[in-house]
Structure formats: structure tokens, C-alpha cells
Amino acid sequence: MTINASGWRPEVGAAVAESAGTYTGNRALMLEEALIFEIGDSKTTGVDIAAPPAVKSRLAGLERHRPIGIPGLSEPETVRHYTRLSRQNYAIDLGLFPLGSCTMKHNPRLNEKVARMKGFADIHPLAPRETVQGALAVIHELAHWLVTLTGMKAVAMSPKAGAHGELCGILAIRAALEARGDARSTILVPESAHGTNPATAAFAGYAVESIPATSEGRVDLAALSARLGPDVAGVMITNPNTCGLFERDMKALSAAVHAAGAFVYCDGANFNAIVGRVRPGDLGIDAMHINLHKTFSTPHGGGGPGSGPVVLSEALAPFAPLPYVERQGDTFLLIEEETVDERQGKSFGRMTAFHGQMGMYTRALAYILSHGADGLRQVAEDAVLNANYVLRSLDDVLDAPFGHTGPCMHEALFSDGGLAEGFTTLDIAKALIDEGYHPMTMYFPLVVHGAMLIEPTETESKAALDQFIGALRSVAMRAKQGDPLLKSAPHYAPRRRLDETLAARKPVLVWKEPEEAVAAE
């Protein structure tokens, strides 16, 4: 198998050309792009590196003999490769990204500018604390906002993503229970919870039991209360929950859990629906992570990084992980050791090598200061208003399983009820791609058949919502009428429906030289 000078494997190129009707496989501005392994080679480099001074090597005789196999591209080729790839991505900068529970809102570029200031981007985590006072001040200031907005006692800043924050909260609960000599074995998790919740509880050494939802889409308080007992360490709730609803009985639920000697963990993925209007601390919550990328708009970059600070109640605060920042007069201290103050020995330890996601803290704080207390309250209001507007504008064409029970919070939930025989949520999602939208979250929460969870967020205008509503209405009508074209959508994306079964059955996770790949079969 040969690769020609432009990087195309001729037989692949030919197959593409036939279907697309062009020699290259490109369709005007929709450009195909080969892999770096097909267009680069071991001799090309895009950097100029000075010749090293002559020295006697001290590598213990372990010099590399074999080639590494990493191809290089010149700088212009590199810029073009990644620019071409970028054009095959949908992003919030291109339009509405209504992924329920993911909260894709506008990412202000001021936040990027701030995070890139040399004084934040170019400082080392182990630099002497006297040389990083401004950075410690940022952590302290962000912590103050998070604690105040949530009405909690303390915040653990270091968790590196939402799921890592869940782990932090559950470990704090476990440490608090063990400190009072109360070993418990089980965490209760509602069936509508994110998959991370049961996985986290299991990772922290707990057995996991599911709590059902009511027909109204909320946690069944009676079932939960009945299950509480001396073996239950905690309950993991999401509020607002993944059906887009506020858990009305939250205070009663917390009281029941506390009376049973257990703790309440809240998945804070949906904090953006209530920020500035409700303090989780007032609801009796003991620990809650805050996905900074969701509520406070740090960019998620095609899958991360995240950042998941965890706010803690008075009962759990002493067990928070190290390190943490404290103010002493005009100086900020970084507490890294368990033995320095009265909390000695209580912290459950360290969760990550350094101090967490500093680059996300600057961005989140910039977003918070830009909004202020008044603006954050408006964030929650507009997020909820936009979601209810979507819910009410579409509930005549799409089945809204909990639509009759009242308003939703910041996301609107629909099901696949009423579609023509054989048509599914997937068909609606793929048809939305042709309309120029990223689809909503599909098949989650699991408690609703064929779920479609739509979260418009507060950074969408009414005009943008009206256009999206029009597009989804049109697609929903076609799905009810059984339009066969929907079954093969998307028709206009860079790729048609991809074969996910093949990918899982015969996993190809790294590129291999074509000869090598054939030989392996």
C-alpha cells in the first residue's frame, strides 16, 4: 500500500471520490484531512532547535536505539492540519449546543486573556509561596465566592473534574464517619443519577443501592426514608435533578438522612439553574461539587479539562483534602501538610499532585466578577426562563413526560412518545445535525423512554431559541409522519452515520502502517 505525495492513500481517495463526486474527496470548504501518520515523516520538524553543547552523556547507558515512530510536520503543514480538523467540529461558537446536563454556554474570551497572563500561566506549583501570592489570592477569592453563593462552610478546590469532585465529597463523608468510629457500607443513589455517582461510590469502597423515582420525576422520599438505616453512609442527590426538576422535598429529605446519621451529597452539575437564588447549604446539603465549566463557563475543549471544587458543610469541612489556601493577615498560605494546625490528622489527604486547575480558577473568577451577585442571579433566571420557553413552545409536538406537573428548571425533558413506528430519538438527533444544530442529550435520564434533554442556557437570545424551536418542531413533525429521509440523516455532515458497533467489535485504537495492519488481521 502506498501513500502519494499529498498524503492520500490512492485506494481510499478513489472510494471517497466516487461517493463525493470529487477527486480529492473534498466538498468545497468541507475538507478531508489525512492522519499525521500518513502525511508526516520522521525527518520533518516544525521547530528550530539549537545544536546542543558538547557534553559527556550521563544517561546510564540507556540511550534509545529504536525509532520512536512519531511523524513530524512543518509549521505551515501543522497549522493547516489542525485548522482543517477544527472545521469538522461543532462548537458553541458556531451555534446553540443544547446538551442537557452539560451546560454549554458562551465562553467569554476575556477569561482566556486573563488565564494567559504570564503571572498565572507561567508559574510553577512548587514555587516558594512568597513568589505566588497573586495566584493564591485568586484561589482564595474564588473560594470565597463559592462558599458564599452556596451558603456552605468550606470548599475543597483541588478536584480536577466533576467526577473527581464527587469522589472528594464521598471520601469526606467516609472520613467523617470513620472519625466517629461509625463504619457504614452503603450509598443510596437515585436511578436517575449520572453514571458517575454510582461509579464514584463504588470507587470509594461502598456498595451502591438505587432509589426509584416517582411518576413525577422526583426522588421517592418514602422509598428513600424506608431504606435509611445504620448501614447507610450517605445519599447522592442531583438537585435540580436530571429530569430538569427541582427536588421539592429536599429539606425533608436532608432531615431524614441526617436523623439516620448519614450525609447528603449533592451532584452540583446543575447549580447554574439556582445560582444566586437558592443556597444549597439552606437545603441541608453536606457536600456538593461545582463543575466550573458548566456554571462558570470555563471552556470544555472537546472533552475537558474540567474542574470540580467541592463545597462542604461544617460537619465535613475538617476532613477536606490537602492542599488548601488560607489568609493570614496580608499573606496567603498554602497548607500542604496535615500537621501544621489544629486540623492535624483530620484531612483525608491529597487527591492530586498539585493544587487543582489553576487555569480554570482564573477563568471562572473572571466570569463571576463580570456577572457579580446581581448578574449570577440573572444567569439562573434566564437559564430557567429559556428552558421553560423551549418546553412550552414544543409540548404540542413532542411528548413532555413531566410537563403537566409545572415548570422545569434550566433544562426541558421530552420523550420519544408519539413518533411514527420505528422512529427514535436518534433519528431526531441526526436530523437536527442537518439543520445545523448540535443535538440535545439523548437517552438520558434513563427513567424516561427515548429521553431528549434540552438545555439552552442563559446565553441564547430569543431569536436563537425561536429558530431552534422551529427546526426541532419541523424535525419532530417529520418523525411523527415517518419521513424515511430521517432514517439516513445526517446527509450534510462531514460524515454520515458512523458504525459504532464495528468500532467496538474490532477495536482500532492506534494507527498502524497499512502493511502492519493487514498482517495483523
Partner 1 sequence: MRYLPLTPEDRQAMLATIGAASIDDLFVDVPAEARLSGPIANLPGHASEMAVERHFSALARQNMAAGHHPFFLGCGAYKHHIPASVDHLIQRGEFLTAYTPYQPEIAQGTLQMLFEFQTQVARLYGCDVANASMYDGSTACWEAITMAARVTKRTKAILSSGLHPHYVSLAKTMAKFTGDQLMTSAPELSAETDSVQLLAAIDADTSCVVVQYPDILGRIEDLSAIAAKAHEQGALLVAVVTEPVALGTIRSPGEMGADIVVGEGQSIGVGLQFGGPYVGLFACKEKFVRQMPGRLCGETVDAEGKRGFVLTLSTREQHIRREKATSNICTNAGLCALAFSIHMTLLGERGLRDLAALNHAHAVKAAERLEKVPGVSLVNESFFNEFTLKLPKEARPVVRALADRKVLGGVSLGRLYPGNPVLEKGLVVAVTEVVTPEDIEAFAIALEEVLA
DSSP, collapsed to helix, strand or coil, labels residue 382 as helix
Which residue's CB is nearer to partner 1, number 259 or number 492?
A: 492
Q: What is the C-alpha separation between 168 and 290, in angstroms, rounded? A: 12
Which residue's CB is nearer to partner 1, number 276 or number 318?
A: 276
CB of 100 to partner 1, least distance (A): 11
CB of 297 to partner 1, least distance (A): 8
Which residue's CB is nearer to partner 1, number 148 or number 481?
A: 148
Cell triple for 297: 463557563
Tell me the CA distances in angstroms from 387 to 198, 376, 379, one per residue in order. 28, 17, 12
Which residue's CB is nearer to partner 1, number 277 or number 449?
A: 277
Q: What is the C-alpha separation between 383 and 104, in angstroms, rounded? A: 11
Residue linked to cell 471517497? 16
Beta bridge partner(s), residue 27: 30
Which residue's CB is nearer to partner 1, number 1 or number 79?
A: 79
CB of 109 to partner 1, least distance (A): 8
CB of 151 to partner 1, least distance (A): 9
List phi, psi (to 5°) of 237: -115, 150
CB of 91 to partner 1, least distance (A): 4
List phi, psi (to 5°) of 219: -65, 140
Which residue's CB is nearer to partner 1, number 5 or number 60?
A: 60
Which residue's CB is nearer to partner 1, number 222 or number 502?
A: 502
Q: What is the C-alpha separation between 230 and 280, in angstroms, rounded? A: 25
Cell triple for 347: 484531612
CB of 478 to partner 1, least distance (A): 18
Q: What is the C-alpha separation between 217 and 245, in angstroms, rounded? A: 7
CB of 417 to partner 1, least distance (A): 22
CB of 504 to partner 1, least distance (A): 5
Q: What is the C-alpha separation between 115 and 127, in angstroms, rounded? A: 18
CB of 390 to partner 1, least distance (A): 10
Q: Specify whether the CB–CB gap between 186 and 233 falls below 8 A.
A: yes
CB of 259 to partner 1, least distance (A): 18
CB of 285 to partner 1, least distance (A): 11
Beta bridge partner(s), residue 241: none
For residue 88, the Cα-to-chain-centroid distance in whole angstroms is 21
Is the dihedral angle over the CA atoms 103, 108, 110, 113 positive or is it negative? positive
Q: What is the C-alpha separation between 42 and 319, in angstroms, rounded? A: 51
Residues in Cβ contact with 393 at an 8 Å cutoff, skipping those fewer than 6 apart? 465, 469, 473
List phi, psi (to 5°) of 158: -75, -20
Which residue's CB is nearer to partner 1, number 4 or number 45?
A: 45
List phi, psi (to 5°) of 70: -105, 115
Q: What is the C-alpha separation between 111 and 108, in angstroms, rounded? A: 6
Which residue's CB is nearer to partner 1, number 25 or number 268?
A: 25
Please state, as a whole number, how many other Cβ atoms lie within 10 Å of the Cβ of residue 371.
17
CB of 89 to partner 1, least distance (A): 4
Q: Specify whether the CB–CB gap between 257 and 235 falls below 8 A.
A: yes
Q: What is the C-alpha separation between 249 and 110, in angstroms, rounded? A: 40
Q: What is the C-alpha separation between 475 and 483, in angstroms, rounded? A: 9
Beta bridge partner(s), residue 207: 186
Which residue's CB is nearer to partner 1, number 500 or number 515?
A: 500
Which residue's CB is nearer to partner 1, number 84 or number 480?
A: 84
Cell triple for 515: 502493511
Which residue's CB is nearer to partner 1, number 7 or number 71?
A: 71
CB of 74 to partner 1, least distance (A): 9
Please state, as a whole number, how many other Cβ atoms lie within 10 Å of the Cβ of residue 244.
28
Which residue's CB is nearer to partner 1, number 291 or number 479?
A: 291
What is the separation, in whole angstroms, between the first and last Cα of the chain?
15
